[in-house]
Amino acid sequence: MITVDHIQFRKAALFAASVVERRNTIPVLSTLKVTANGSLTLVGTDLDSYASASLSYDGDEGEFLLPEPTKVAKALKGAGGEVVTLSQIDKKLRVEAGELTADLASFQSPDDFPAVDAVAEEAFGAVVGTDFFRALDRVRPAISTEETRYYLNGVFFHKVGDWLYRAVATDGHRLFIADVPMPGSSGDLAEGVIIPRRAVERAIAAFGKAENGVRFAVGGAQKTNRKDTTLAPTTWNSRVGFAAAVGSLDLSLTTKLIDGTYPDIARVIPSGHPITIRVNRAALRKALKSITPLSTDKTRAIKLVATPGQITLTLNSPDVGTSHFPVAAEHQAPTGFMIGLNARYLGDAISSLTGENVDLGLTDSAAPMTISDPADLTFKVVQMPMRV
C-alpha cells in the first residue's frame, strides 16, 4: 500500500500525462508507469517525449501502471480528501481518496512500458531562469504549423555571441527573435537546435515560473534501462531536457529535437530602415482590436497609411465596408506612404512586446518591416507585407 498527498499526486499525474496522446493505438502508452522506491515517480510518454514527476510517499516499494491518468486525476479532484491510497488487489490497482474507491483494470505489465530516452551525454548545459522561458514564450506565436516544412515547427535556439543565445521562430510570413544571456553555460550551440513546438509549450507551462533555476540540457540519448549497459550514448544532439524542483515535485521533461536545417534567417533581417514610425503600443493595440472585428477575411488585411503626425489603419471588407482608425505617431514617412499588413500577425507582435512604445521600421511597401521596442533591444519581429 502507498499513501501520498492528494494535491501533489494529482499535480504529478497531470504533468506526467501531459505527453500522453489522447487516442492511442498502443494501450501501454495511455498509462503512466509508477515506481515507488525512495520516492514515488510517475512517467508518461508518447515515444518522442517523456515527462516524469517524483514526490515523497509513505508505504511499500513497488512498480505498476496507472491507466487513464487524466480521468483519474479528475475523479480524485471531485472526491477530495487529504491523501490518496494506492494498492494492488487481484491484479487491479485500487485508488482511494475521500469516499471514492476505484478498482482500475490494467492489462499491461510495467515491463512493457517503453524505456526512457534521457539526455545521457550533454553537448550543452545551463541553469536557466524565467528570462529563458520568457524568450521562448515571446517567439512562440510565430512557430509554423505547416507540416510540409516540418523544420519550422519549433524554436531554433543557437549561440550568437559570448554567453548570448537566440531563440527564433518563423512561419515564413513573420520572424520573431528573442535574445537571452546564459552566463555559466557549458558546451556550444553554434549550429543550433530546433526544439519542437509542443515541447516549448510544455516547458513554459511546467518550468516558466520555477524560482530556483531549471537545468536545460542538449545532447545524445541512451535508454536508461537497456539490458546492455555497455552501449555508449549517441554523441549528436538528438534530445533536449528540462529538469527542476517545482514546489515539492521533482519534474523532468525530455523530448526529441527536430532533425532538420533551419533557414538562414540573417538574410531576411533588414540591416536598417529609412523610415521609422513610433507609436504608443496601447493605442496601436486598441486600433487593431477596434477595426479587425469588422473584417470577414481570415487574413484580416489592413492598410497602414502615414499622414502628418499620425498613421491610419484602414480595413476594407467587401461584406461589411471600409473602416478607418487614426493613431498619433512620430515619423518622417512621406504623406500617403502605405503598406499592407496581416492584422493578426501585427497583433501577435505587439503582444510580445512589453514597453510603452513600438517602432515600425520601413523601407518601402514591398520590403520586410521590423517591429521592436525602442527600450528593449533583446526582442524584434520581422513581418512581410502583403498586397491589400
- Each residue of 276-308: pLDDT tens digit? 999 999 999 999 999 988 877 776 899 999 999
**Sheet bearing 92-97, strands edge to edge:** 58-59, 2-5, 83-89, 92-97, 100-105
Q: Write out the three cell numbers for 203.
A: 516547458
Max CA separation in the chain (angstroms): 81
Of 78 and 189, the one with more pLDDT: 78
pLDDT value at residue 234: 47
CATH architecture for the domain at 270-383: Roll (3.10)
Q: Write out the three cell numbers for 14.
A: 497531470
Query: What is the 8-class DSSP label of residue 258?
Result: P
Whose cell is 550551440? That residue is 189
Establish whether domains 117-265 and 270-383 are of one fold.
yes
- State how beta strands 39-45 and 31-37 pair: antiparallel
Query: What is the 8-class DSSP label of residue 309?
Result: T
Residues 366 and 139: their CA atoms lie apart, in Å, by 24
What angle is formed at CA 194 by the lines to CA 192 and CA 196, rounded to 5 degrees? 160
pLDDT value at residue 233: 47
| CATH of the domain spanning 2-112, picked from 3.65.10.10, 3.10.150.10, 3.40.50.150, 1.10.3720.10 | 3.10.150.10
Residues 166-219: pLDDT tens digits? Answer: 999 999 999 999 999 999 899 888 789 999 999 999 999 999 988 889 999 998
| CATH of the domain spanning 117-265, picked from 3.40.50.300, 3.40.190.290, 3.30.300.30, 3.10.150.10 | 3.10.150.10
4-13, 44-53, 172-181, 220-229: the lowest-pLDDT one: 220-229
Phi, psi values for residue 155, rounded to 5°: -100, 125
